[in-house]
Amino acid sequence: METIVDKERIDEALELIWVLAEEGHNELDRFSLSSDDPDTNLLTKALIDQDLAMVSDNTIQLTEKGRKTARGLIRRQRLAERLFSDVFEMSDDSVVDDACKMEHILSEELTESVCTFLGHPPTCPHGKLIPRGDCCKKFKIEVTPVVTRLTEFEVGSTGKITFIVPSDPSRISKLNSLGISAGSIIKLIQKKPSSVLQIDETTVAIDHE
């Protein structure tokens, strides 16, 4: 009879086995000690029953089925971390916590879109490899992200504002009054000490947050 364990517990276990393998470890004892699960014996049995992992002596390894599932989870989590860190500039703690939630709900189609949006990043903010997806295989070189921060813009470049994420939400109204809003076409005239933007016939200076 197959051991029934909550899917989220299974997912967390698969991710842990993947991460430990990245670090060069496949010891069952290490897996048990590293897991936050309340019953790792039951969890391990469930992994075996569902053909997601195999145990031999004191080692635990993912099966082909388990590796495929874990790969998807790791890919979604690390892409979410990159999205939250690079685009929304969230704190490291929030990045990790929210990415862990996102990995369970992102569809394959949305994951591919996020990856393309970010320019197929090779690593997460912590330097760990992001498993490549089908969208990445279409490119032989890394492509430029669809969205770039203003601070990474080159002087003289022209672009369209996709969205604004200020540290203080009250700045949105001020920026809007200057003609700086989503959809605006801007040209970067100067980067330091302040960013100087040209919007139509208007030139605006913005202090860096």
Average pLDDT over residues 16-24: 95
List the chain domain ranges. 7-62, 68-137, 150-206
- Whether the pLDDT of residue 205 is over 70: the answer is yes
pLDDT bin (cut points 50, 70, 90) of residue 81 is very high
Percent pLDDT > 90 in the chain is 42
In the 8-state DSSP scheme, what is residue 27? B
Taking domain 68-137, whether its CATH number is 1.10.760.10 is answered by no
Average pLDDT over residues 159-167: 67
Task: Give the count of alpha carbons within 13 A of 35, CB side only.
Answer: 24
* CATH fold for domain 150-206: SH3 type barrels. (2.30.30)
R_g of the chain computed on alpha carbons: 22
Task: Give the whole-angstrom CA distance, residue 28 versus residue 44.
Answer: 9
pTM score of the predicted model: 0.70
CA 133 to chain centre: 13
Buried (b) or exposed (e) across 123-159, using 16+ Cβ within 10 A? ebbeeeebeebeebeeeeeeeebeebebeebeeeeee
DSSP states along 90-154: --HHHHHHHHHHHTTT--HHHHHHHHHHHT--SB-TTSPBPPP-HHHHT-SSPPPPSS--GGGPP
* pLDDT the model gives residue 208: 61
Three-state DSSP state, 53: strand
Average pLDDT over residues 72-99: 87
The pLDDT tens digits of the residues spanning 109-151 come to 999 999 988 888 889 988 899 999 988 877 655 555 666 777 7
Whose tokens are 């029953």? That residue is 49
For helices 92-102 and 64-82, what crossing angle results, to 10°?
Answer: 140
Tell me if 68-137 shares its fold with 150-206: no
Whose tokens are 């470890």? That residue is 25
Task: Give the whole-angstrom CA distance, residue 13 versus residue 34.
Answer: 10
Which of 129-133, 168-172, 179-183 shows the lowest mean pLDDT across its residues?
168-172
Burial of residue 208, with CB atoms counted within 10 A of its CB: 0-12 exposed, 13-18 middle, 19 or more buried: exposed
The pLDDT tens digits of the residues spanning 86-119 come to 887 787 778 888 888 888 888 999 999 999 888 8
Q: Between β-strands 185-190 and 53-56, what pairing exists: parallel, antiparallel or unpaired?
A: unpaired
